[in-house]
Amino acid sequence: MTLSLFDQFMSPWHMGIPLLAISLVLPWVLFPTPTLRWLNNRMLTFQGWFIARFTQQTFLPLNVEGHKWALLFSSLMVFLITLNMLGLLPYTFTPTTQLSLNLGLAVPLWLATVIIGMRNQPTAALGHLLPEGTPTLLIPVLIIIETISLFIRPIALGVRLTANLTAGHLLIQLVSMAVFVLLPMMPTVALLTAILLLMLTLLEVAVAMIQAYVFVLLLSLYLQENV
């Protein structure tokens, strides 16, 4: 039972070839391509409105120097939302349930923000390790704690995204298994459980979007500290 529950999180293979790369590239094919026409369809209009609103909200607290990251963060946001949403479809694989992939996204971007801070304003970047007005006896301890918290940031980014999506997929599978088991014995209870499954699925759709937004928002906050 335990093995079958976690089989859905295993990276798919076909004839010895890992299909993870295909599952990462395929979502980009689904995005509508902008045209040069004055009037676009509703899908293109919604896509442009969504990206514009997200970029505005994410980069509102940042100065002009941080606006160079707008294209990268917007693309990452759309990419994560697409992967998370496609993973809710039956017989699909969710790459963002893999901790290695999430850390592969979080660590380089976090490291880039730290390097930018160290290069542009090293005094201010190192000043975050020691709050102003700290007693002399607590200075070594606080520096160690702040350094550890700094290096934990990318790990927290990856683990948060992985844990939330994994927990949601496990809950959906457990509740759906309960529906099939209860259907021949107690149809009324099975119907109520199916309604619960529908509500849980809607909740997971919201979680898929929120977790992608939180991932990019935290990266923008880390960038704010260093530009």
Domain parsing of the chain, residue ranges: 7-226
Question: In 3-state terms, what secondary structure has residue 18?
Answer: strand
Q: Is-above-0.75 flag for pTM?
A: yes
When mean pLDDT is compared across 45-59, 101-115, 213-227, the lowest value belongs to: 45-59
Q: Tell me which of 160 and 8 has the higher pLDDT.
A: 160
More confident residue, 218 or 131: 218
C-alpha dist (Å) from residue 26 to 16, 29, 32, 132, 227: 20, 5, 13, 49, 34
Among 12-16, 93-97, 134-138, 161-165, the range scoring the smallest mean pLDDT is: 12-16
Percentage, residues of the chain above pLDDT 70:
92
User: How confident is residue 1, by pLDDT bands cut at 50, 70 and 90?
Assistant: very low
Dist. CA 207–CA 164, nearest whole Å = 8
